[in-house]
Structure 1
């Protein structure tokens, strides 16, 4: 069994000060993908002594940054999503030889975006590049990380209040319809017709038109079923964490062959607000490798 976990640490040095090392020690994780490192390799090595670590730093100091740490060394790694895409510090791939399989693990940090601004334009380009890259990852692959989109109404506690905001825009969600649609089949999209006028705003069908499914599996949704959450991020405002008013924006998106090997999945929600070491919780999956 291989345990793969993903977490947006909201700054590796801050997470370390708040107790991340304790979770690492008890988690039993074999491969850990990290987003929003906001630091250098030396800061990762201080938290993960003895691990094999790749990092893709952001050119903007104190921003973004992704990493992959593993108990056993990877056999290869790659960065970037192609020319013209702002993916530096946001996309890192590593290949691992596990038994007779080569497994590709991705640490991804999608732009948060902001409606009608250049930030959202960068997000569209990134999601387009993801759609092109996913089919190229190989038979056994998983894209993990903070993907900054709640795919379905189950994925955001207050979905009605967020249909016009980045992170739950119909056009954003249509990309996930494509990522998770049946491979090679036309993407239909989703419509919340039973939810009334507000629900109509979450209609992804116009944006799904012309797309072809890529066949990936949302491990979290497949394992948890058709239920609210489990959420992985909570705003620091108000009592969002205490009331579990969260978003499920941290994912394991796996190829069918790898998804078929999932033996367990969980979100390591913190016991209390004051024990959190990030505003995101680790997302952990066990694969029969």
Structure 2
């Protein structure tokens, strides 16, 4: 049995203060994909990743982005878009991390080149199971220019720049995802993409879906893109396959108001697996809080896979 989780910590230092380290120590996960680490190597807290081996891509923007994969044993291979990664063993402190070459094995789509140094993607091959784990933090995006209404926006209108940036990323990642998934299968490995996709795929994936149909994260073109990534022969939404036609389980709630208490959330954190691996999933759920405390505005999505 493999217990695999994905979680956006929204800053590893803040998450540690809320109890993330204790969650790591007690949840019993074998693999954890982490997004929004938001710390350069020298700013990581002591023992940031507990008793796990870590492969980390911080990106070059201080306090932004950053992705990691935590494993019980050191991975067989690590790949990033920048060609470099930081790795460390159990209970590694900032000074214990080593920088390694982490060259990708498939061509990077042109649309992804502006994101190379942003710390949005890392991929590892497990040693103890024939699985490639990919961790993604997809750009949040924004509204197209024609939908922007200053009086309804929290951020200043940008003429659709954030929207265009996200759509460019999606176009490039669609091609890249096909290539890297096929490369894993050619190597005899199943493929599992996890992370914060910043898209609610269907009306079951957010509480107030009617009023959000012109909101970034639930735009028709974003949902169409998600449709194209899934099929019984390519990738399967594992949690939805185990929880069909029901609301949620949500994985993100605003800090504002009573969104969390009333479960007015979004499901934007996913396990997308090749079909054989998806069929091995036996249970899936969301750790809404840990000992009564929210670790982040996201909650870990945990799936048990019946693999030796």
Q: Same fold (TM over 0.5)?
A: yes
1:112 is the counterpart of 2:140: yes
| Residue equivalent to 1:288 | 306
- C-alpha displacement of 1:44: 6.4
State the distance in 2 between where 1:45 and 1:257 align: 38
State the distance in 1 between where 2:244 and 2:16 align: 33
- C-alpha displacement of 1:281: 0.3
5 Å-filtered alignment, 1:159-178, equals 159-178=209-228
- C-alpha displacement of 1:41: 3.8
Aligned residues: 255
| Residue equivalent to 1:49 | 50
Runs of 4+ displaced beyond 3 Å: 81-84
- C-alpha displacement of 1:270: 1.3
Task: Render the CA deviation track for 1:92-118: whole Å, top value 9, x for unaligned.
Answer: 11111335x2x1111101000011222
CA contact (8 A) 1:263 1:285 kept: yes
State the distance in 2 between where 1:95 and 1:123 align: 27
| Residue equivalent to 1:221 | 240
Structure 2 residues not aligned, in runs of 5+? 82-107, 145-159
CA contact (8 A) 1:15 1:277 kept: yes
5 Å-filtered alignment, 1:43-82, equals 43=44, 46-80=47-81, 81-82=108-109
| Residue equivalent to 2:191 | 141
Task: Render the CA deviation track for 1:236-289: whole Å, top value 9, x for unaligned.
Answer: 1110000000000000000101111112211111168x6112000000111122
| Residue equivalent to 1:92 | 122
State the distance in 1 between where 2:232 and 2:18 align: 42
State the distance in 2 between where 1:182 and 1:141 align: 14
State the distance in 1 between where 2:3 and 2:199 align: 24
Q: Secondary structure at the match of 1:161?
A: coil
CA contact (8 A) 2:19 2:290 kept: no
5 Å-filtered alignment, 1:1-289, equals 1-41=1-41, 43=44, 46-80=47-81, 81-85=108-112, 86-87=115-116, 88-99=118-129, 101=130, 103-116=131-144, 117-136=160-179, 137=181, 138-139=184-185, 140-183=190-233, 215-270=234-289, 275-289=293-307
State the distance in 2 between where 1:265 and 1:44 align: 30
State the distance in 2 between where 1:104 and 1:115 align: 34
* TM-score relative to the length of structure 2: 0.79
Over the residues paired in the alignment, what is the CA RMSD in angstroms? 1.7
CA contact (8 A) 2:60 2:119 kept: yes
Structure 1 residues not aligned, in runs of 5+? 184-214
